[in-house]
Amino acid sequence: MLDRTLVAKLREIVGDVYFREDKEALVAHSYDGTPMLQSLPDGVIYPKDTDQVAEIMKCLSRYRVPVVSRGSGSNLCGGTVPVQGGVVMVMHRMNRIVEVDPENLTATVQPGIVTAEFISHIESLGLFYPPDPSSMRISTIGGNIAECSGGLRGLKYGTTKDYVLGLEAVLANGEIIRTGGKLMKDVAGYDLTKLLIGSEGTLAIITEAVLKLVPPPKSKKTMLAMYKDLYGAARTVSRIIEAKIIPATLEFMDNPTIRVVDDFAKLGLPRDMEAILLIEQDGDREAVERDMESMRRICESELADRVEVAESREHAEKLLTARRSAFTALARLRPTTILEDATVPRSKIADMVLRINEIAIKHNVSIATFGHAGDGNLHPTATTDARDLDEVRRVEQAFEEIFEAAIELGGTITGEHGVGMVKAPFLEWKIGKSGIEVMRGIKQAFDPYNLLNPGKLFAKETRKRVVIDRG
Amino acid sequence: MLDRTLVAKLREIVGDVYFREDKEALVAHSYDGTPMLQSLPDGVIYPKDTDQVAEIMKCLSRYRVPVVSRGSGSNLCGGTVPVQGGVVMVMHRMNRIVEVDPENLTATVQPGIVTAEFISHIESLGLFYPPDPSSMRISTIGGNIAECSGGLRGLKYGTTKDYVLGLEAVLANGEIIRTGGKLMKDVAGYDLTKLLIGSEGTLAIITEAVLKLVPPPKSKKTMLAMYKDLYGAARTVSRIIEAKIIPATLEFMDNPTIRVVDDFAKLGLPRDMEAILLIEQDGDREAVERDMESMRRICESELADRVEVAESREHAEKLLTARRSAFTALARLRPTTILEDATVPRSKIADMVLRINEIAIKHNVSIATFGHAGDGNLHPTATTDARDLDEVRRVEQAFEEIFEAAIELGGTITGEHGVGMVKAPFLEWKIGKSGIEVMRGIKQAFDPYNLLNPGKLFAKETRKRVVIDRG
């Protein structure tokens, strides 16, 4: 329950209708896209501009009330669950495209705009914003920045961090900082822009962003390569890169994923394949043709059972949509879907998929794997039932071993989903005790009273590393 | 003078020959590429590996002795001048290419390797590392990382920060941290990799880096466009980008630069031109041809007096070398050369060049301007004489107004050279009081006793902003 004087002040700042304490609002903001996590906030606030955010933060910091800023809450790491109560700050009213500057190839946006809406506006101007997280029809740019979202085009084009040139943000104490700008180069002090990207709302509240746009590719082609041998698919990934081709998309689906996606999307995918690669190249027509031909030959020499080039843009879109629907399709199988994103060097993709399968069998759980093979970012996805406590425990155990395996293979516990609550107990496995200490120091410098999204990134206790029994 | 017990310990760690206190060593490491700055260290140490760096830091932090890590010291911001004495740590012995991994397109290197040597090794393997600071024949990769160096290919390919995937670094207390890895995606906690890049040796000592490599472009073409009208050149820059062409190189030289470069390189450049653009495109042959043709047409429609396409690779190299030699050529004119790198949004290039010229006239100083027009990164360069105190004062006054003008135009005080000592008094102009406070907090978190390159980035006093009299 919030102090009543504070509530009166907050209502004064945003207007009565934009501060809510009713049960409906509290429940609606007690969870996010992550299964099995819920915690009620004490209030929900909807600021309309940066000045309001600054005023709100001055009040909240005076009263030492935690705040969780959020867009659509589509994250999968418990990043916006208000575990310590306090106020949830919803950024949806701040959803304007402030400016598109064609001379500097930049767009200035507020954080609450939905990613797909922004992208479609940019494309209508003949420009291109590459980051395309699978959640883009609901996720916001602000959320993408907070989590440093990736997507299907990450291999060739990079992720959100590669497209943010400057930020306006409100600090815990209500002060406004501005970093970077419409500048391709800026080395004035520490790179606060990059530090805020992926900081999951724990360092500041992002209120505006200058994004980099690029010229759109002139053409694009899509193909599917289907394998009865998992290693053939994995070797194809490595050999494409070794051949110095960087495809726009290089996606992987394993057999269980192929089956459910086909049930869902009715594409007539061959259900007996061990792996499918979805490969796209974009760019100039001649280069695209040449790269596609080279990649087709690599697929065939690695004994792909079938290679199919999409004959039209519609056909290609259908294939891409199938891949994008993997999560949704898997989610239909059972009540609870837990999707992770262990990431390894791309040369270790096959090893990682095999380890995931071994681990799933060992714990008698069902895990399908798909993901961005080109950048080693896999999404092992467990379908389970939250009410079956024993099975959930086994799923969690399996994921712990999957994180451990990723680290062993030179990888990381999260490639694009963030740490949030879910992976906080494992962060030390990746960055070590000293790394955690440094990060805690940074957090302390920005937010001395731990008011910004508390309970995320840093765990009370690091999980003990298990010795994996591969017997 | 260092404590004798400490010296004995340091000698024990690295061996007698790799710790020096003789005058020659001290003087040789009392300055760097920046004019008019000098300060003697108390000792110079040459570690051979990460463990030695860690041991050294444990000793130095116990004795609270400052340390300045450096490569070749080619920076232009006073970044490696040991202003508070202490120990200079020279990284030249740690100059190995640890591994090139063609499957993951990464190279793992020690910091002391010379950039051009690294690049030529990578190119011999048929791969490409784009960052190409003009100093690359002497600068080291470690120095490039510390300053986040740019170069001529920044517009299309980005700068050093876009090619560092992971770091090993030693903290002030001697602990070793490892960030990132051979991973295209990693969002496990705050992005320490990017935070260390450009941190100018003030947060940690970089001991190893995983660098991203890319496939080399298949062909490249070079052309010069010469203008009697400065605005025609500037408009050309904007119109090329608006036409959705991102050239590999888009360099600018003003009339004073053209004259000295021609005196130096004997290229027969037309000495009556107000501006020359050096334009390169690389990529697939057909795309390069098409882009070059489009850019030639834009140059002509903006009334370029002459457009010259290099007819051979040798001719192109000569033109590029001419541009790279601008600093050297200018440095021959007078005893002291002060080169800055105010950066503006690329649409403001012409405004900025005109402001620089006005400011130079007002203060009766000689400033030539060249730089990376495509990314708005200009290098106004004053030729002066350090012994003429009155003129030096006027030069400094002019640069203050140039920084102010850059900020006014939405730019920054430094695009690729770093803050160091030289721009520390101006940092607040760009990032504000709150920005400085946050950065000081980060510094404090990494280096509580202020031992790592003290006296850099943060000024005792911020320079007062002048109101520019444009009358």
CATH number at residue B363: 3.30.70.2740
How far away is chain B from the Cα of A247, in angstroms, using its nearest Cα? 12
Note whether A43 and A113 are same-domain residues. Answer: no
Identify the domain boundary among B274, B303, B327.
Answer: B327
A60 interfaces chain B, CB cutoff of 8 Å: no
Pairing of strands B19-20, B43-45: antiparallel
User: Are residues B293 and B227 both part of a single domain?
Assistant: yes
Give Cβ neighbours of residue B15 (< 8 Å, ≥ 6 apart): none
Q: Is the pLDDT of residue B5 over 60?
A: yes
- In this model, does residue B269 exceed pLDDT 90? no
Last residue of a domain, one of B212, B230, B263: B212
Q: Give pLDDT, residue A320.
A: 86
Mean pLDDT of B151-177: 96
**Amino acid identity of B18?**
Y
pLDDT attached to residue A470: 40
- Are B177 and A435 a contacting pair at CB < 8 A? yes
User: Considering the domain boundaries, does residue B195 fall inside one?
Assistant: yes
Whether residues B206 and B226 share a domain: the answer is: no
Q: Does A61 touch chain B (CB under 8 A)?
A: no
Q: Do A186 and B346 touch (CB under 8 A)?
A: no
As a whole number of angstroms, the distance between CA B183 and CA B196 comes to 17
Chain A residues inside the 8 Å CB shell of B372: 185
pLDDT attached to residue A113: 98
- For residues B235 and B156, membership in a common domain is answered with no
What is residue B296's predicted lDDT score, i.e. its pLDDT? 97
Q: What angle do CA A165, A168, A172 make, to 5 degrees?
A: 135
Residue B419 CB neighbour total at 10 angstroms: 29
Asked if B438 lies within 8 A of A418 by C-beta distance, the reply is no
Residue A459 lies in a domain: no
Q: pLDDT above 90 covers what percent of chain B? A: 89
3-state secondary structure chain A: CCCHHHHHHHHHHHCHHHEECCHHHHHHCCCCCCCCCCCCCCEEECCCCHHHHHHHHHHHHHCCCCEEEECCCCCCCCCCCCCCCCEEEECCCCCCEEEEECCCCEEEECCCCEHHHHHHHHHHCCCECCCCCCCCCCCEHHHHHHHCCCCCCHHHHCCHHHHEEEEEEECCCCCEEEEECCCCCCCCCCCHHHHHCCCCCCCCEEEEEEEECECCCCEEEEEEEEECCHHHHHHHHHHHHHCCCCCCEEEEEEHHHHHHHHHHHCCCCCCCCCEEEEEEEEECHHHHHHHHHHHHHHHHHCCCCEEEECCCHHHHHHHHHHHHCHHHHHHCCCCEEEECCCECCHHHHHHHHHHHHHHHHHCCCCEEEEEEHHHCEEEEEEEECCCCHHHHHHHHHHHHHHHHHHHHCCCECCCCCCCCCCCHHHHHHHHHHHHHHHHHHHHHHHCCCCCECCCCCCCCCCCCCCCCCCC
**Same-domain pairing of B48 and B152:** no
Task: Identify any residues that bridge with A68 across adjacent strands, giving them in sequence order.
Answer: A88
Judge: B184–A376 Cβ closer than 8 Å, yes or no: yes
Query: By three-state DSSP, how is residue B216 classified?
Result: coil
**Domain at A52, CATH number:** 3.30.43.10
Q: Does A249 touch chain B (CB under 8 A)?
A: no
Structural domain contains residue B432: no
Domain membership of residue B252 (yes or no) is: yes
Is the Cβ pair B187, A246 closer than 8 Å? no
- Whether residue B434 and residue A345 make contact (CB cut-off 8 A), yes or no, is no
Q: Looking at residue B77, what is its pLDDT?
A: 96
Q: CA–CA separation, A166 vs A195, rounded Å?
A: 11
Question: Could you tell me if B246 and B275 lie in one domain?
Answer: yes
Answer yes or no: are the C-beta atoms of B233 and B187 closer than 8 Å: no
Cα of B126 to nearest chain A Cα, Å: 9
Least confident of A459-468, B221-230, B280-289: A459-468
Q: How many domains does chain B have?
A: 4
pLDDT digit string, tens, across residues B299-337: 999 999 999 999 898 999 888 888 888 888 999 999 999
CB of A372 within 8 Å of any CB in chain B? yes
Chain B neighbours among A 294-333 (CB < 8 Å)? none
B379 DSSP 8-state letter: E
Contact status of B289 with chain A (Cβ, < 8 Å) = no
Are B197 and A189 a contacting pair, CB within 8 Å? no
CB contact at 8 A, B379 and B310: no
Closest residue in chain A to residue B290, using alpha carbons only: A284
Residue B175 CB coordination number (10 Å): 18
My answer on whether A361 and A413 are in the same domain is yes
Judge whether B272 lies within some domain. Answer: yes
* B320 located within any domain: yes
Domain containing residue A358: 330-446
Q: Which two structure tokens, joined as six digits, stand for A428?
A: 């030390």
Q: What is the pLDDT of residue A466?
A: 59
The confidence band for B469, taking pLDDT boundaries of 50, 70 and 90, is very low
Instruction: Return the ∠ at Cα B412 (arms to B409 and B417), rounded to 5°.
Output: 145
Q: What was the pLDDT predicted at A469?
A: 43
For residues A183 and A272, state if they share a domain. Answer: no
DSSP B63: T
Distance from CA of B187 to the nearest CA of A (A): 5
CATH code of the domain containing A289: 3.30.70.3450
- Residue-wise pLDDT for B390-438, tens only, equals 999 999 999 999 999 999 999 999 999 999 999 999 999 999 999 999 9
Task: Report the CATH number at residue B199.
Answer: 3.30.465.10
pLDDT of residue B69: 98
Q: Are strands A164-170 and A176-180 parallel, antiparallel or unpaired?
A: antiparallel
Q: Which of B43, B65, B90 is the last residue of a domain?
A: B90
B110 and B194, same structural domain?
yes
Q: Are A229 and A317 in a shared domain?
A: yes
Low-confidence ranges of chain A (pLDDT < 50): 468-471
Question: Which residues, at least 6 apart from B185, have a Cβ–Cβ distance to it below 8 Å?
Answer: A150, A154, A159, A343, A372, A375, A376, A377, A412, A415, A416
Chain A within 8 Å of B100 (Cβ-Cβ)? Answer: no
- Sequential DSSP letters for B166-206: EEEEE-TTS-EEEEE-S-S---SSS-HHHHHTTSTTSS-EE
**Closest CA of chain A from B148, distance in Å:** 7
Measure the CA–CA gap between B21 and A341, rounded to whole angstroms.
52
Per-residue pLDDT tens digits for B105-132: 999 999 999 999 999 999 999 999 999 9
**Cβ-Cβ contacts under 8 Å, A346 against chain B:** 103-104, 184
Between CA B191 and CA A305 the distance in angstroms is: 41
Does residue A468 lie in a domain region? no
Instruction: Establish if A85 touches chain B: CB-CB under 8 angstroms.
Output: no
pLDDT score, position B466: 59
Has residue A440 been placed in a domain? yes
Give this complex's ipTM. Answer: 0.95
Answer whether B412 sits within 8 Å of A148, measured CB to CB.
no
B462 pLDDT band, cuts 50/70/90, is confident
On whether both A101 and A204 belong to a single domain, the answer is yes
Whether residue B438 and residue A446 make contact (CB cut-off 8 A), yes or no, is: yes
Both tokens assigned to B202: 């003030």
Strand A97-101 with A367-372, pairing: unpaired
* Of residues A184, A412, A439, nearest to B375 (C-beta): A184
User: Which among A190, A214, A242 is the nearest to B103, CB-wise?
Assistant: A242
For chains A and B, CB pairs below 8 A equal 276
Instruction: Give the amino acid at B36.
Output: M
Same domain membership, residue B116 and residue B77 = no
